[in-house]
Amino acid sequence: MAAPQTLFMPDGRVCVGAQPRVLAPQAGATLGKVPWRTIIGMGAKGSANAATGYSHAGYEWFFAGQGTPSNLWGDATLLVGRRVGPDVASTTASFTGADQYVFVEMAGIRGQVLWSHINNTNTATTVTTTAPSYGFNEAGLIFVAGAATKTVAGAPSGVHSAGLLPIADVSQTISRFYVWRYVPGTRPTVAWTCPSAQNNGFITAIIR
Amino acid sequence: MDRSLYAGPPRKLTIGQTYQSGIPNNSPQRTITFTNVPQWPILVLGGYDSPAGVWDVQQSLGYEWLPGPSSGGNGSGAGSSSLWFGKRTSSSPSKTYNAQGGAGGGTGFEEIAALEMPGLRGEVLWQGQAIGTSTTLVTPQPKRGVFVPGCLFVVLGRWRSGGASGFSVSMSNGQTPFLTLMGNITIAYLYRYLPGSRPVATVVYARSVFASLQAVVIR
């Protein structure tokens, strides 16, 4: 992962996605480090619904979109965490519902979801996500993609359409989560390859 | 002059609503026919009797559909409500579209309403949800206000069949809704969101089981 670490741009603006920090991807529910910026996360479950609850004293969380809320397929749920307390204790964060979570803390993100889409399949190992019908001509956005697959199947892998700069890539045993810088006006897609043809749920989103 | 986006009377140019009981297992599908050909962004509000809300909207309308937050859907028997946004992608959209509710839940009830709303962008700025088994549910309070003009505050809930009857919604800041929708299992109250405010909605309703509620700030 070649992510810029410069927090401020030459004109003083915060560099969106700078200093990304993955908060200990794990199957459990507690953040591994004390966060202090906006967090974009994903909950993954091999079947049924992921990410059903949360508790965190210093942050407020919300479920921005649910990949495949079906009893039959896997689910990738997008979560947004906004810091609301001056003192955040990592041990107070807990989440329920998903088999795996990943959280990426980064600079310059507000946690506003401008566009999202879900794709799913129970029969194919490859899926290309649906492109936005319109590009967003706005600077400082990120493009995220998450995938959940069948339990104990292994992590999916995704290849984005050209032109996106990586911020984070987190791979776990049944899920994967990418964060890229969104290039204004583009309509990116992600070509996923999954180890199993079953229970595959995907979510893509453009976030401010 | 109030130039707020949602000032004045509600602009429900198109409303489609469907309700049906006894939905068969696996992938129930409902078709909504609008009363006129839509041309503006569409907000879809849906409720389902078992997990997990409206999970797919077919692109049969000349619109691109974006999934918004879903309440409940926790696999424990609570139903859920879902938001969807539709952005027009065709110069000549049709008047009908399909929406699919949660699969695998046995028989159930599903309700969907669709509103055509000029100015709606389909952005999710905040969401909070509550799942309960009493006859009162209170939405989480935004910990910080959202300082963006032109937003909506949507209170969307789903109750067990018949539970939406006899309900009442009160807002902590005294706001009144500009639009209300009520079905057999689903209620939706739409308010103009006052920038920076942190409202709480208290909802009293008829049945004490399988209730889920969400509040969403959207633009």
Sequence spans of domains, chain B: 15-218
ipTM of the complex: 0.81
Q: Point out the residue among B103, B123, B125 whose CB comes nearest to the CB of A72.
A: B103
Q: pLDDT confidence of A120, banded at 50, 70, 90?
A: confident
How many Å apart are CA A67 and CA A120, to the nearest integer? 8
Which has the higher per-residue pLDDT, B47 or B156? B156
The verdict on whether omega for the bond into residue B52 sits within 30 degrees of 0, i.e. cis, is yes
Residue A134 touches partner B, C-beta closer than 8 Å: yes
Q: Is residue B162 very low, low, confident or very high in pLDDT (cuts 50, 70, 90)? A: low
Q: Say which range, B16-20, B129-133, B210-214, has the weakest mean pLDDT.
A: B16-20
Every domain of chain A and the residues it spans: 21-207
pLDDT digits (tens, 9 = 90+) for B97-134: 766 655 444 455 667 777 888 788 889 999 888 877 77
pLDDT at A190 over 90: yes
**pLDDT tens digits, residue range B31-84?**
667 777 887 888 888 776 655 555 566 556 788 888 888 776 444 445 677 788
Residue B1 has pLDDT above 50, yes or no: no
Provide, as residue numbers in chain A, all residues whose Cβ is less than 8 Å from the Cβ of B143: 60, 82, 84
Contact A97 B74 (CB under 8 A): yes
Measured in Å, how far apart are chain A's first and last C-alpha atoms?
A: 21
- Segment B142-151 shows an average pLDDT of 89
Question: What percent of chain A has pLDDT above 70?
Answer: 86
Measured CA to CA, the distance from residue A70 to residue B73 in angstroms comes to 9
> In this predicted model, which residue has the larger pLDDT, A19 or A180?
A180
Q: What is the pLDDT of residue B50?
A: 58
- Which DSSP string do the residues of chain B spell out, in sequence order? ----TT-SS-----EEEEEESSPPSS--EEEEE-SS---S-EEEEEEESSTTSEEEE---SSEEEEEEEE----SSS--EEEEEEEEE--SS--SEEEEEE-SSS-S--EEEEEEE-TT----EEEEEEEEESSSEEEPPPPSS----SS-EEEEEEE-STTTTTT-EEEETT----SEEEE-SSEEEEEEEPPTT----EEEE-S--SSEEEEEEEE-
Q: What pLDDT, on a 0 to 100 scale, did the predictor assign at position A192?
A: 96
CA distance B217 to chain A (A): 10
CB contact under 8 Å between B69 and A63, yes or no, is yes
Contact predicate A174/A44, CB 8 Å: yes
pTM above 0.90, yes or no: no
Put simply, the answer to whether A65 touches B140 (Cβ < 8 Å) is no
Distances A147 to A25, A195, B29, B133 between C-alpha atoms, Å: 14, 12, 25, 32
pLDDT at position A146: 93
What's the token pair of residue A118?
Answer: 């879900």
What pLDDT band is residue A147 in, cutting at 50, 70 and 90?
A: very high
Q: Is B128 on the interface with A (CB under 8 A)?
A: yes
Rounded Cα gap, residues A63 and B83, in angstroms: 12
